[in-house]
Homo-oligomer: A and B are copies of this chain.
Amino acid sequence: MSNIRLVEAKLPTGFRFHPRDEELVCDYLMRKVALTDTFQLMIEVDLNKCEPWDIPETARVNSKEWYFYSQRDRKYATGLRTNRATTSGYWKATGIDKAVHSKGTIVGMRKTLVFYHGRAPSGTKSDWVMHEFRLQPTFSVSTFKG
């Protein structure tokens, strides 16, 4: 059972994990990256090694919902494209990414992906949908050499 469900089980009826996009980015993803995720509610899942139907019970929040962290696997060492293939299929983006705002600033992006059985481009669409949140860094560090 997931830590999220363990929290829910102690609460009065009707209280459940129902985070806003902004909360997932600012309170979970940012803290995970900064190593300050004191809630420890979500596990890490390797999406390349795990088929959608094999995602661990410790990530499950209800009969049809899972929440977890994952590290993106670069498709090529030199590029930015993400490898989203599993043994039996692949995750393919659908629609356009949506900006996630907090206090008027874009803090992250939400990508929606659908799982296809088989190999691109001839895979078969499934009912599995994933919303992937990534950080949108507002600050960068630059050095200058004259």
One digit per residue, 1 when the CB lies within 8 angstroms of any chain B CB and 0 when it does not, for chain A 10-22 equals: 0111111111100
Number of chain copies forming the complex: 2
Cβ of A19 and Cβ of B13 under 8 Å apart?
yes
Residues of A within 8 A of B (CB): 7-8, 11-20, 23-24, 27-28, 39, 41
Cβ of B13 and Cβ of A16 under 8 Å apart?
no
- In the complex formed, the residue of B with least CB distance to A67 is B14
Measured between alpha carbons, how far is A113 from B14 in the docked complex, in Å?
A: 23
User: Which residues of chain B are near A14, meaning CB under 8 Å?
Assistant: 17-20, 23-24, 27-28
User: Which residues of chain B are near A16, meaning CB under 8 Å?
Assistant: 15-16, 18
Measured between alpha carbons, how far is A17 from B24 in the docked complex, in Å?
A: 17
